[in-house]
């Protein structure tokens, strides 16, 4: 295992290793679910809210804002009435695709193995 001497920083917070930084991006109950939704393509706020069972509007807005601040999600506001807002992954967010796919596979394998015990 590599020992990291460099500090990593995002949004004013410092992290001792890149894994700690990466995990901080995903921390939050709904962020991975939001990212999975957006891996399917651009979505409007209402569509995300309908597709994510149990998330409150306040929490969805907060988690989307944090992902936007981290550069993972792009928010596009259209000047129409009623307001139209769409969210999509940035190139940086798209870079998470293989990571999310791996975590998905790992989770399915882990879930299968724990049921057998």
90: Cβ–Cβ under 8 A, 6 or more apart, which residues? 71, 72, 73, 74
Q: What would the mean pLDDT of 49-78 be, rounded to a whole number?
A: 96
pLDDT at residue 116 above 60?
A: no
For the entire predicted model, the pTM comes to 0.83
Q: What would the mean pLDDT of 72-97 be, rounded to a whole number?
A: 95
- Collapsing DSSP states into helix, strand and coil, what is residue 75? strand
**Between 10 and 78, whose confidence is greater?**
78
Q: What would the mean pLDDT of 68-85 be, rounded to a whole number?
A: 94
Reported confidence tier of residue 40, pLDDT bands at 50, 70, 90:
very high
Residue 66 near residue 110, CB atoms below 8 Å: no
pLDDT value at position 5?
67
């Amino acid at each position: 295992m590599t020992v990291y001497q460099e500090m990593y920083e995002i949004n004013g917070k410092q992290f001792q290793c890149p894994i700690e930084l990466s995990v901080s991006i995903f921390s939050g109950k709904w962020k991975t679910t939001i990212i999975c939704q957006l891996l399917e393509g651009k979505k409007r706020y209402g569509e995300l809210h309908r597709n994510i069972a149990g998330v409150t509007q306040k929490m969805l807005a907060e988690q989307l804002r944090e992902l936007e601040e981290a550069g993972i999600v792009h928010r596009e506001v259209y000047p129409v009435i009623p307001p139209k807002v769409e969210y999509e992954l940035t190139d940086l967010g798209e870079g998470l695709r293989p990571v999310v796919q791996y975590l998905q596979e790992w989770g399915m394998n882990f879930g299968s193995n724990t049921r057998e015990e």
